[in-house]
A and B are shown apart, each in its own frame.
Chain A
Amino acid sequence: MEFIGKRYTTLAYRFLLAAVALFAGCGGKTPKIYHVGVLSGLDFFYTITDGFKERMNELGYKEGTNITYDIQKTDFNMAEYKKILNKFVADGVDLILVFPTEASMEAKVITKGTGIPMVFANAFTENTELVATIRAPGGNVTGVRWDGPDLALQRFEIMLEIVPHAGCMWVPYQRGYPIVKNQLEALRQAFTAADMEMTEIPADNAADLETALQKQLGITRIPDAILVIAEPLIASPEPATVLAAFAAAHRIPVGGNIIPSEGNESIFGIIPGNIAQGRQAAFIADKIFRGTSAGIIPVVTAENFLTINYKAAVRLGLQVNEGLLGRAHTILR
């Protein structure tokens, strides 16, 4: 009897242990913490980071809890881009948010084959080979783009609405900068169609711009307007000041981008918003974190925001129609 009892007791204990071991394995998973590397390649667009973090927070990615950010800032320095991006790769981040175009192109090269997805913002896709197509970007790349040619045309159309009798416009830009090509191409066609004259003024920097403007003044008449396209020259403070001062000196309306030079501001600007782009990029990042491959997520086109500097326009004796004001997101009075 004792032997039988011991045998059954032993079996029962073994069974109980197996059951405990079975149920002990049903533990919960540790939530993943995502590491995002952010390369802000141009100070002017840094607030994209704010929009990105803001939207990520809304999507449930709480900084310090399930997501961390390694935010690296540099101002248009290619060497620094490489260094920062290589650090991100070495750290094995889960995703890289990068802007603008030049930094994005560098990021694509460096992250190739690493499996680290990258989301670009504030970048041009035309003539940059950043993506295969905007519908299927391919590889580990996707992001938020600027539709450069359309943006240039929109700026041209708005300028015409404010300066309806304009016959000649100057278009300054960074010499040799790749993304201006498509914009200039579109504008050329538009100017031709409108039977207008477009003078292209390439420059390398502020001084060069000033020289080029003065030189052009000696060649042609004073333009009816100066149209700023999306490129880095006028986005930089010094050339923008040079341009604004020149335009003010000759009472030439400048438009396309907002130039915040006191007393010499541009009359309008239409550009994608940084915060909005950051939020759009966050939405893409969320898709990637939820399992969608970056390469099959279509590139999103940034929303443009129109700002009318009504005060500057009035100062130049220009009329801004009510319809345009109605479309504007911001009116500066």
Chain B
Amino acid sequence: MRIQSGKKTRGYRSLPVTLTLAFLVVSLSILIVSSGLEIFFNFKRQQLNIGMQQHLAALNAAGSVGSYIQERIGLLNATVRLGKLLNVPLNDRKVIIDKLLGIEPSFRRIVLLDAEGEDLSCVSRRSQFGLQSTANATKKEILHAVKEGTTFISPVYIDSASSEPLVMVAVAVTDAFGDYKGALLAEVNLKFMWDVVDRMEIGRTGLAYVVDRRGNLIAARDISRVLRGENLLRLKDVAEFSRRTEGSPGRRIGISRGFAETYVVSDYVALGMPDWAVVVELPVKEAFEPVISTILITMGIVIGCFLIAAFVGIYLSRRISQPIIMLRNATAKIGEGRFDTRISVKSTDEIGELAQSINRMSNDLQRTTTSLDNLNREIEERKKTERALAESEKNFRRMFEITSEGVALINPETGRFIAANPAMCSLFGYSEEQFRRLTLEDITPEEAKKTVRQSMQTLADRRDVPDHEETAVCKDGSRVNVIAGMHHMSWNGEPVCHITLTNITFLKDIQEQLRKKNREILEFTNMVTHDLRKPLTAMKIILELAGKGSFGALDSDGAEAISTGLEASRYMQEMLEDLMSCARLESGTQELIMEEVRFRELIAAVIARLKYLIGEKEIIFDLPKEDPLIRADKKQLTGALMNLVGNAINYIGTGPDRRIRIGWKQGEGPPVLFIEDNGIGIPEASQKHLFEKFTRGGNVHDTVGSGLGLFIVKCIVEAHNGKIWFESEEGKGTTFYFTLSGD
């Protein structure tokens, strides 16, 4: 992580890189110097070893080659000394030479010469027919050499017939006194030496070859080059052997072109007798193989050590620099204000102590910052709250000021006004300032002050006073009717009374006017009903008399007409009764005479009165077994039950099991009375307005009715402070429930 947003600073180099490079440079320097010295001394040591090995190989090869010739010279000398070649008969002499030929396979021909060079005896492994005698010049050279006491060894020559290399070896033949008497000459086949040279192991790929003093190749693995008579004076060792008069160069190491024209490490050893040298060569690659191998191994070790050093360097540099980098990164983060940053350096050194100090500092900063943040947050929230409160207060103030109802705050203990809104001021004719000097009793008429004090006490007990009608006194002494609502509340931490006064003076006036109108309508209705009842009753009596034949016999049409007229008159009478009841109930002029009524008895009477409705209908009535006492206006209750049971009979339908169940249920409050039928039910569309005037179910068109019955029932129940409701499903039946409080 870089402090400067990843941009490299000019000349920037990270600490791990610097440490790693430093470690690698130091390690590599040590490795190179130590390895270089090791390789150098190893090279010198190996060079010495190679020289020694080569010389030993050359000595070994020279020993093999030299002994090959020496052994045969020794055999010739032994034959001379033991055989008494000059003192035995010719046949015996030949036998000796024959045996010598049989003993040594490399002897191709053996010739015994006398002191003058004449052949005394000659045996050959090849046919002697056509075999050329040794040249006289050669013989002379041989005799001269052996006479001087030296062994004669000729140059190597190739036999033209067999292509085999031959060398002529001759030793002196002497008498018992050692006097020179001739020479024993043998042609030695060098192909056996070739085999010896060919099998010489000079390392894995090295070789040995034999040259004479003139540089002629005598023996080598590649015989074809020997047969070609190749001269090798161009080669360094051969040339050196040719130049040196005697001895070998001793141990030395040199690189030069060799027998196969490749670079070799070579050495040679002069045989002395014969005057040949054995040269050994080892290719440079093989000779210095241990050095090369050592260099490769050393390089491998260097590379391995370098890799290890690289790993160790990276590890150590990271180990050293990581805590510092962590410190740097942490301080950078703290600088950016991230005070929750912590450093997890576990070392116990100075860096560890520094990390702990930074952690403590960061911790302190975080605590301080947290406190400041909390404080700022709290202030901000408070400001928000204050703004909300101010706005709320402003809104409430506005609502307080614009509302049309008089609103005021009163100290519940003293009853003094604390505040009053403009509507309040307008209602009573006081300014707000004047209100603050008044108490609630100051605007209360004398007769209501007791009630007001009770209300104040209720508020002092932290309970609300329900809305109720009151009369208040205005500044000018006039009175106003108000609906007063009083609620306790807290204002600036103090308990206050919130009072709402709604001016209902004009409503009272309207109510009074309506009552007056209602009384007039009722009086008119009573008068009309009374006036209609008399002729209707007369009409009914006449029809009944006519029906009974008091005015003569009636035919069937006449009887039916009379019956229809009688039915219509009864309906009109009932209608008049309903209208009268309606008028009384609506006008509130119907006085209730409350008494204890036997419910079952009353039901039975109602059913008896409705027999004309039941007629031929087969209806089963289920009545309650018990007969509870109900407090009600018996007459009114009878009217209500007549309507409800009559409706049940009218709309019982035509089902097979027509049943009307009438009873009551006792709940927590007053008993619930019910009338249940399994008739045609009430359509859902008609249910909502069922208790309204002149409303009938949508499925009762065949039945005659005024549409006032359920309205009257509702008025009667409500007049008893009760409630009425119903449950109905079209086609299944209807159940009406109602209560009567009895108060």
- Residues of chain A at the chain B interface (Cβ within 8 Å): 1, 4-5, 8-9, 12, 15-16, 19, 23, 59, 133-136, 147, 150, 153-154, 156-157, 186, 189-190, 193, 283, 287, 290, 292, 296-301, 303-304, 321-324, 326-329
Contact = CB atoms under 8 A, between A and B. Distances in A.
Interface string B183-201: 0000000010001001100
Interface size on B, as a range, is 35 or more
A32 to B, nearest CB: 14
Nearest to A12: B310
B307 interface: yes
B325 interface: yes
Contact of B162 (A136, A147, A322, A327): A147
B14 A19 contact: no
A323 B314 contact: no
Contacts, number: 111
Contacts of A296: 222-224
B99 interface: yes
A327 B99 contact: yes
A287 B221 contact: yes
B195 A283 contact: yes
B546 interface: no
Interface stretch (B125-133, B463-471, B472-480, B675-683): B125-133
Contacts of A322: 91, 95, 98
A298 B321 contact: no
A47 B198 CA distance: 25
Contacts of A324: 98
Interface string B289-331: 0000000000010011001001100100010011001000000
B304 A19 contact: yes
Contact of A19 (B126, B164, B191, B307): B307
Given A190-B129, A287-B198, A297-B223, A321 B307 contact: no
A299 B105 contact: no
A136 B94 CA distance: 37
B245 interface: no
Interface in B212-236: 221-224, 227
A313 B713 CA distance: 180
A292 B127 contact: no
Given A19-B300, A23-B300, A292 B222 contact: yes
Interface of B: 1, 14, 16-17, 20, 91, 94-95, 97-99, 101-102, 105, 123, 125-130, 158, 161-164, 191, 195, 198-199, 221-224, 227, 300, 303-304, 307, 310-311, 314, 318, 321-322, 325
Contact of B127 (A59, A150, A297): A150
Interface centre among A150, A189, A193 (most CB of B within 10 A): A150
B12 to A, nearest CB: 12
B98 A326 contact: yes
Given A157-B128, A283-B198, 14 more contacts: A5-B318, A23-B300, A59-B199, A133-B163, A135-B158, A147-B126, A150-B126, A153-B129, A292-B222, A296-B224, A321-B91, A323-B99, A327-B123, A329-B102
Contacts of B304: 19
A215 to B, nearest CB: 30
- Dominant SS among interface residues on chain B: helix
B307 A16 contact: yes
A260 B216 CA distance: 48
Closest 9 CB pairs of A and B: A323-B98, A153-B127, A326-B99, A296-B224, A323-B95, A327-B102, A135-B163, A322-B95, A326-B98
Nearest to B17: A4
B14 A4 contact: yes
Contacts of B101: 326-327
A154 B126 contact: yes
A323 B300 contact: no
Contacts of A287: 198, 221
Contacts of A156: 127, 129
B424 to A, nearest CB: 78
Contacts of A298: 163, 223-224, 227
A156 B629 CA distance: 180
A276 B127 CA distance: 20
A107 B322 CA distance: 81
Contacts of B300: 19, 23
Contacts of A190: 127, 129
A198 to B, nearest CB: 13
B99 A300 contact: no
B79 to A, nearest CB: 12
B195 to A, nearest CB: 6
Contacts of A12: 307, 310-311, 314
A156 to B, nearest CB: 8
A4 B227 CA distance: 72
A293 to B, nearest CB: 9
